[in-house]
Amino acid sequence: MSTKKEERNQIFTDLFTGKRPSRIPVTLTMNIEAALEYYGYSMLRDLYNSKLCYEVADRLAAELDSDLIPVSPASTNAAVHRYVKNQFMVPGNDGFFQHPDISPMEVDEYPEFNKNPFEFIVNKIVPRVNKVFDTEPDLGYIRMAAAKKVVNEQYIGMNQKLSDKHERGDVSKIIAGAFAPFDYIADYIRSFSTMMLDMRRRPDWVLEACEGALAYEVSKIQALPDPQSGVFSEVFLPLHMAPYMRTKDVEKFYWPTYKKIIRAIQEKGFIPHVFYENDWSPHLDLLEDMPGMHVAKFESPAPELLAKKVPSRNVISGVYPFSIIRSGKKQEVIDEAKRIIDILGPGGNLILNPNKRFIRAADLNVENIRTFIESVREYGTY
């Protein structure tokens, strides 16, 4: 192992074990779609070429010296979505997949869902969402599993190969995804708009459904292999609905089962890596009630508020304004990095990265990204 790679791994090891690292790590979050577009490739065709996805990830890693690889070749499930005809992830005319606001379950089906959530999801939600079941219902799950297996096998080992080649850290890895139970119901069972109505009209049904979704999510966590020795294995949770809710509703409907899924992830030996999307400022006091340690990535709250409200046992991530990297001047990029480091750096629990994911080529101002990385490395040394 190279000295540079060892140094990066030690930074993350210190960070996740409550020690002050030698410097603030700097990372990026990016879709492979953005990298493909940046180098002039088509998502309609090239998104399904695993060899090409590796090549553009390799090129971008050579350009951007972040502490973890800047983009994973396997950061897309486009081929699986297309094959199973997934209605939650639908390609546009340019081949880019988006998540429409659909409702696979009707409101009067809550009692049936609550009676046996797992059976309802398996027998009704999944077949309704994946149209591969329409032509061969009995083979739907077999075809879904085969598609995932074939696609996953094409990308095996690519992330590690890139990490080794470009001397990036590899002791911090996101190994799976999960959902806050309320978000799971809102995003995949009902919809954004109908869930807000359900809370008002049938709060008892919603509360019971959240417990059912919790059991389903916990079963997926428990089915994961045990964490790899020497690696900080993280489970990623993107939180969606709470910023659109009153704090008293978050406390009633959202927080109880969210805390339980966090605890289940920790009890399995994983680190929850949570993306608090949009503005969580009204709800930040709730973080004091969170169990254990987690990585808390923020999109919107001011650094001053995060320094005050986020318990020091957690690792703060995100924060840096995506808009400045995308369209700011070089000195603005530097000044903002210094400002955030001055506010959040003294705690010794900061990973600095942009507060949004790079999803399209238009997002990639590579010169500004380089400036961002260099600024954090220069000013973020302890």
- pLDDT tens figures, 200-232: 999 999 999 999 999 999 999 999 999 989 999
Count of structural domains, the chain: 1
CB 16 within 8 A of CB 172: yes
CB neighbour class for 256 (10 Å; exposed up to 12, middle 13-18, buried from 19): middle
Handedness of CA 340, 341, 347, 350 (dihedral sign): positive
Percent of the chain with pLDDT over 90: 90
Q: Of 221, 124, 126, 134, nearest to 181 (Cα)?
A: 221
Q: Of 238, 242, 240, nearest to 250 (Cα)?
A: 242
> So what's the pLDDT on residue 68?
98
Model confidence pLDDT, tens digit, residues 291-302: 999 999 999 889
Percent of the chain with pLDDT over 70: 100
Lowest mean pLDDT among 1-5, 145-149, 305-309: 1-5
Cα–Cα distance list, 305 to 26, 250, 254, 309, 312 (Å): 21, 19, 22, 6, 13
Q: What is the mean pLDDT of residues 351-355?
A: 96
Please compute, for residue 265, the number of CA atoms within 13 A of its CA located in the half-sphere on the CB side.
32
> So what's the pLDDT on residue 144?
92
> So what's the pLDDT on residue 101?
86
> So what's the pLDDT on residue 325?
97
CB 30 within 8 A of CB 358: yes
Per-residue confidence band for 69, with pLDDT thresholds at 50, 70 and 90 = very high
Distance between CA 266 and CA 272 in Å, rounded? 7
Distance between CA 238 and CA 21 in Å, rounded? 26
CB neighbour class for 161 (10 Å; exposed up to 12, middle 13-18, buried from 19): middle
**The pair of three-digit structure tokens given for residue 62, joined into one six-digit string:** 């050579």
Per-residue confidence band for 2, with pLDDT thresholds at 50, 70 and 90 = confident
Distance between CA 196 and CA 204 in Å, rounded? 13
Distance between CA 132 and CA 153 in Å, rounded? 21
> So what's the pLDDT on residue 98?
87
Distance between CA 348 and CA 279 in Å, rounded? 24
> So what's the pLDDT on residue 192?
87
Q: How many CB atoms lie within 10 A of CB 155?
A: 16
Per-residue confidence band for 1, with pLDDT thresholds at 50, 70 and 90 = low
Q: What is the maximum alpha-carbon separation in the chain?
A: 60
Q: What is the mean pLDDT of residues 319-328?
A: 96
The DSSP line for 235-289 is EEEEE-SGGGS-HHHIIIIIHHHHHHHHHHHHHTTPEEEEEE-S--GGGGGGGGG
> So what's the pLDDT on residue 157?
95
Radius of gyration of the CA atoms of the chain, in A: 21
Question: Could you tell me the CATH number of the domain that includes residue 176?
Answer: 3.20.20.210
CB 92 within 8 A of CB 100: no
| Host domain of residue 77 | 3-379
Q: What is the mean pLDDT of residues 254-264?
A: 97
Q: Residues, the chain, total?
A: 382
Instruction: Point out which residues pair with 97 in neighbouring strands.
Output: 91
Say yes or no to pLDDT of 380 above 80.
Answer: yes
Q: What is the DSSP letter of 364?
A: -
Q: What is the mean pLDDT of residues 148-159?
A: 94
**The pair of three-digit structure tokens given for residue 192, joined into one six-digit string:** 């954004």
Whole-number average pLDDT of the chain: 95
Say yes or no to pLDDT of 122 above 90.
Answer: yes
What is the amino acid identity at position 40?
G
**The pair of three-digit structure tokens given for residue 74, joined into one six-digit string:** 């396997």
Say yes or no to pLDDT of 79 above 80.
Answer: yes
Say yes or no to pLDDT of 136 above 90.
Answer: no
Cα–Cα distance list, 247 to 175, 197, 241, 284, 340 (Å): 31, 17, 12, 10, 27
3-state secondary structure of 353: strand
Say yes or no to pLDDT of 67 above 90.
Answer: yes
Say yes or no to pLDDT of 345 above 70.
Answer: yes
